[in-house]
Amino acid sequence: MRKSILNIIVLCVLICMCTIPSYSYANNNKKSKTEKEIQLNSKIALIYDRASGRIVFEKNGNKQTLMASTTKIMTAIIVLENTNLKDVVKVDAKSATIGGSRLGLKKDDKITVNDLLYGLMLRSGNDAASALAIYVGGSIQNFAEMMNNKAKELGLVNTHFVVPHGLDNEGHYTTAYELAKITDYALENDSFKKIVSTSSTSININGIPKTITNTNKLLNSVSGVYGVKTGFTNGAGRCLVTACKKNNMDFITVIIGADTTAIRTEDTKKLIKYVEEKFELVNIKNIIEKEFEKWKKINSGRIFVEKGCENSAELLLKEMSFGKMIIRKEDTNNIDITTNVIYYLKAPVNKMQIIGTLNVIINNENIATLEIYNEKEIRKKGIEEYFMEFMQIIQKIRLI
């Protein structure tokens, strides 16, 4: 009777364990505990760790907002992935008359896709954005649909595009967090990275050279900065998305809703300084693997498989999707790794069956949950195995 009850309990535990997701992160929507450490004047701010995809700091980082010309980061992605840089574009009348910041295009001007992209990202030309959208998508509406499809592909749920340039429009919005994810994806494209890291260049319109300079002044004034995009509309305020490398840390900062250009610049500098002074890059994957191996040496032999051809399980840990992450310097000694497994299993046990989890906790925050698997199938004993056990027992008796 007691054995039957024990089997039922084990079965219930196994069912619960199988419902654990394959990989989970701490909730990025959680308000940053460190928000008070930085005094910012901008309405929205965020620091995004490119190594792990985690939020390092946020102020209203998941609030839906207008995004102004930071929209052009997605515009550039769609263009780079759907056309040839050497293609020549003939500027249409609609693009030639659009308002806001402009490259200075006129109707029927001829310019390559490559030069339009520089005009898009350095000069922030709305006319360049419109011309590219119509060339690639056939219309502004079709191009916006391509942008939204890419947003879905990237797993974005709080982003929607209506226009390629970012002028204020109803239904055109993102969040600082999702804008950072878009930027992170874009920076994987070498052509995009080259363009946004350029301070000034010469382009050709109708074969006539024209020098343009980047509106992002941080490229020349803050070490480690290698892009990405400025923006401004009345609705969004002053915006700035910045990519920076400091002490092997590669991160993105987002500022939205600054009242002036000076404020968005100063707030970005504060975010960069904050990362440089307070954080460091840690190989978390290496730490986890070492701790798991230590745990296995002590505990793997304690796992018992009832009626199994093998008496114990061989354990395999789910790999993390990233190896390194930015964490606070003061928390490098506060990494807690806890392991929970089912010590009693009943054969048969399937290959890659979940039998436990490993939790990574830093400063009381659950960073990740990794599944622990049974690496190889464990068959249930049959008549042949029981017979062999019986013969071994007989042999031992004879020896006595």
What is the set of active-site residues? 69, 72, 124
348 cis-preceded (ω within 30 degrees of 0): yes
